[in-house]
Amino acid sequence: MHKIVTLPGDGIGPEIMASALEILQAATAGTDFTYEVTEMPFGGAGIDAKGHPFPEETQAALQTADAILLGAIGGPQWHDASVTPEQGLLQMRALLGLYANVRPVRLADSLVHLSPLKEERVKGTDMVIVRELIGGIYFGKPKYREGDEAFDTMYYNRGMIERIARYAFEVAQTRRGHVTSVDKANVLANSRLWRETVNEVAQDYPDVQVEHLYVDAAAMKLITKPTDFDVILTENLFGDILSDEASVIPGSLGLLPSASISAEQAALYEPIHGSAPDIAGQALANPMSMILSVTMMLRQSFGEEVLADRIEEACQAVMAEGIFTKDLGGQASTTDFTQAVIRKLQEG
């Protein structure tokens, strides 16, 4: 029995979590994949229920999980909280040691028409962004605001860079064997250490080709020549920004999942987007990002390739029939889409 802890969170988080869990249930009915789900408060919901975005009960539950699913957190009502939902999320990433955030960006041929970009540019896009998740300017000290001055510190050491670089090179070995490391080595000392360390690590992976791009040029090339990328390796903040940008290739932020990997603890799976307060509570959310987070969990935590393929194929088939949510220009509500995927799973 696999133990899955769910953290639905805020805004559209609970809506897309419900959709993905219904689909998981439909896909696993009658199979020997068995699991139990324990839902815990997190983010704004943690503040409302327990006075903290990452309550102690939630911390304890995560220690016993085989895999963790997170919806999304945050919202204007908690911006002035003493510990914000976003700070709670960063605390969780640090506590669990989730150093590698893996964000695949793929565009099925049958769904190329959903991209706002020219078909001939985006057709065949299949890349993975490997974002370092517990270092850089998010975590470096000092970090404070004092009157009219504020400090954030970008910090990496060789060990932190080496660990994420090895992860990215190993991902590349299972793919097309190409790593693009993205930095700002023409300006930042951090990036010069990054580039030097990546080149050292590369020597241990002679079957993987490495190239370096500055982040500004990478941001441009991501949109103009997305098919040139296989694995993108980058630090925390650059990876955050480039991955939202990359969502324009398939057509919506609501399509992109992620996996966050730790050396010691269970992995965590979550959409790359946030709680989308502008559309929350209206059944407008695209649940694909959460559904694909579940299929990443099935593959990476539980080795359930066939189950994951079945779910992904059902979603793709439904979307190819023209059933998709408003973010992609469709008419389907979150529930319409979910039910269509469940019907497709039951047919097949």
Residues 109-128 touching ligand NAD, rule: CB under 6 A, are none
Active site residue 184: yes
* DSSP H or E segment with residue 170: helix 158-173
Under the binding rule (CB under 6 A), the answer on residue 127 touching ligand IPM is: no
Amino acid found at 190: N
Contact residues for 344 (Cβ-Cβ < 8 A; gap 6+): 314, 317, 318
Q: How far is the CB of 89 from ligand IPM (least distance, A)?
A: 5
The rounded distance, in Å, linking the Cα atoms of 163 and 283 is: 40
Q: Of Mn ion, ligand NAD, ligand IPM, none, which one does residue 278 interact with (CB within 5 to 8 Å by kind)? A: ligand NAD
Task: Write the binding mask 14 to 53 for ligand NAD: x where contact by CB under 6 A, - elsewhere.
Answer: --x-------------------------------------
Of 10, 183, 184, 344, which is the active-site residue?
184
- Piece of the chain touching ligand NAD by CB under 6 A; list 149-157, 216-224, 279-287, 340-348: 279-287
Among 15, 47, 70, 86, binds ligand IPM (CB under 6 A): 86
Annotate 210-233 with three-state secondary structure. Answer: EEEEEHHHHHHHHHHCHHHCCEEE
Eight-state DSSP code of residue 252: -
Under the binding rule (CB under 6 A), the answer on residue 149 touching ligand NAD is: no
- Piece of the chain touching ligand NAD by CB under 6 A; list 51-59, 175-183, 283-291, 313-321: 283-291
Check if the beta carbon of residue 77 is closer than 8 Å to that of residue 141: no
Active site residue 216: yes
Q: How far apart, in Å, do the first and last CA atoms of the chain sit?
A: 25
Residues 211-240 touching Mn ion, rule: CB under 5 A, are 240
The rounded distance, in Å, linking the Cα atoms of 321 and 269 is: 28
Q: How many CB atoms lie within 10 A of CB 260?
A: 24
Under the binding rule (CB under 6 A), the answer on residue 289 touching ligand NAD is: yes
Check if the beta carbon of residue 301 is closer than 8 Å to that of residue 67: yes
Residue nearest to ligand IPM (CB): 86
Q: Is the dihedral of CA 331, 23, 8, 269 positive or negative?
A: negative
- Piece of the chain touching ligand NAD by CB under 6 A; list 67-75, 106-114, 182-190, 308-316: 67-75
**Which single residue is written with the structure tokens 């029995």?**
1
Task: Write the binding mask 251 to 290 for ligand IPM: x where contact by CB under 6 A, - elsewhere.
Answer: ---------------------x-x----------------
The rounded distance, in Å, linking the Cα atoms of 90 and 294 is: 21
The rounded distance, in Å, linking the Cα atoms of 73 and 286 is: 16
Q: Of ligand NAD, ligand IPM, Mn ion, none, which one does residue 327 interact with (CB within 5 to 8 Å by kind)? A: ligand NAD
Is 166 one of the annotated binding-site residues? no
Is 279 one of the annotated binding-site residues? yes
Query: E strands, the chain, where?
Result: 2-9, 35-39, 67-72, 98-106, 126-132, 140-146, 149-153, 178-183, 209-214, 231-234, 259-262, 267-269
Of 204, 216, 225, 309, which is the active-site residue?
216
Check if the beta carbon of residue 44 is closer than 8 Å to that of residue 78: yes
Name 145's bridge partners. 150
Active site residue 80: no
The rounded distance, in Å, linking the Cα atoms of 52 and 47 is: 4
Q: Which stretches of the chain bind ligand NAD, using CB under 6 A?
A: 12, 16, 72-75, 86, 89, 253-254, 270, 273-279, 285-286, 289, 327
- Give catalytic residue positions: 138, 184, 216, 240, 244
Instruction: State the residues that interact with Mn ion by CB under 5 A.
Output: 240
Which residues are known binding-site members for substrate?
A: 93, 103, 131, 216
**Binding site members for Mg(2+):** 216, 240, 244
Bind-site residues = 93, 103, 131, 216, 240, 244, 274-286
Residue numbers of the site for ligand IPM (CB under 6 A)? 74, 86, 89-90, 240, 272, 274
Q: Which residues are annotated as a binding site for NAD(+)?
A: 274-286
